[in-house]
Structure 1
Amino acid sequence: MIELHNGDCLEVMADIASLSVDLILTDPPYGTVKGIEKTGHYAAGRGDSHDWDTPIAHADMMNACERLLRKNGTLILFSQDPYTYRLATEYNKNLPFSYRLTWYKHRFANPLSAKKAPVNYTEDLMVFFKKNTKYDFDGFHPLRPYAEAVYSFIGKSTKQITDELGHQGVDHFGRFNSSQFKLCTQKTYDELTALYGLRNMVGFIEYGILKTIDIGYNEPLKERMNAASPKIFNLPEGAGHKSNVLSYHRDEVKLHPTQKPVALLADLIETYTRPGDTVLDFTMGSGSTGAACIETGRNFIGIERDPTFF
């Protein structure tokens, strides 16, 4: 399946089904080139314009990626500082930054800064994995009745308890009729015990016992959820490890100013997906990611706003 869209990436992404993408692999605009003096250096007749380097609203981009990725899905963004720093520190809480890869390009890309700063022979690839939240969708957590008993003993709503505690640590513990039920932390439980005299409650249980019960239920649940939606990391055939430095020459034919080698993209796709998985590139440029998907037997969704490249 190859699906191509010419339009604004955030608008198009809003129409894609949630949890439907296995890997998002893209080279978003960093905002580091736009405004550079006009030199005619860039390919495809783009020497007089750097509109392609207009940054995407960061929070909106990360939230859209988090919604589209399946549980344990992967997001890989090409980057360079200072954009790299922002990606490492300003991420969606359900799509945390995991680690950085480095693409060694064999030659530097931008001679315009050669007399002002060291030239770059490398480019960052920032890797994020979507969290697989361990909610109790089956509704069989053995501590649900106990949480309900605690609330009955206290005789107050979650909002009232939250106001009196001064924080929301009890929120999920109070959702004993919801899939989002979770045991609170020991700190919160100790506060509840002291504030509301829980030790006077018939059937009171110490936190250590509660935690043992919680782990005994959640670990198998986590294993089932990860088996249904696993985190993918494939090593090269016959290899025992994979380097964090990826060495690839640029493609000879260059159709876009920031075009990436198809071989590099194919390497990433084969590492972080399985055959038949779906890959999204929401700033696809000339379509190198799509070519790599065809080469590796993956489905591809590509988005590009500039009709020159589309």
Structure 2
Amino acid sequence: MDLLPAPLLLIFRLTSFRPGTFLLVGIPGLEKFHLWISLPFFSMYIFALLGNLVLLFTIVREQSLHKPMYLFLSALTLADLLLSTTTVPRMLAIFWFRVGDISLGACIAQVFLVHFIFFAESGILVAMAFDRYVAICNPLRYVTLLTHSVIWRLELAAVVRSFCLILPIFQLLLRLSYCRNRVIPHSYCEHMGVARLACTSIKVNVVYGLTVILLSVGVDVVLIAVSYGLILRAVFQLPSAGARRKAMSTCSSHLCIILLFYTPAFFSFFTHRFGGHSIPRHVHILLACLYVVVPPMLNPIIYGVNNKQIRETVISMLSWMGGQRN
């Protein structure tokens, strides 16, 4: 079948679909480079798995890390693991084996998981910003305000909010009637990529998707900005430069993760909807693919490098394991 000319091969694939099946094509326009593209993606995925598992194991095992900041970080780490594992294995199957067929149910389930994890991570980042605000602006009440019970409630609220936001998207996709052309020019299923294959109007999907982003993630960004505005005001009021440096160093890792999370997400979201043809499609898809693997890979590195307590704990654990082997 692969010996057929490209147009005939596409027609064959379009007319040989089983009912309820879609075809993910990877990165459109870069199909001949899929094997080479897969190598860095596979490497980043392995690093993301190992880094997040080590970080999660370290926080769970070490009692001294059972503090609000690290408990929020463990939730973020778990979300990163789920996000990359939900998308990257299927992406690699497309790159390596051209296995792009995916059932309607599996595709919509992937849409649900990808967007659910995204909104949950956004909520966790807001909780982490609140944690840093209390630690710097109201340190005397830090222990009494951020108890384990409050932490679990904040994390549960992030999960419940995400579920409530995504459930309508799940229903909106299921109500659509899909055309014969079921080729998704992407490496994984996402809301608008699937909705655009429908034969019926998707105006409700477009409006709801835009509204949810602006009223949930937009509000999250505003809350984080307000938190850090108050933090900066408190830091600049500290008497010595050393104290200001120490206070800001506790926020540097979180700030890096915020930028790493929101910058590509908003760029991809707005250029996908309003960029028109000014940005090539393969650039959109490549950025969307990098988004699900680069932040999960870099987050453990950022916290491991910037956070002395995590770094020393990991080193001591590795030394202990090495001593046990000897």
Judging by fraction of residues, say which structure has more helix: 2
TM-score, normalised by the number of residues in structure 1: 0.28
Judging by fraction of residues, say which structure has more strand: 1
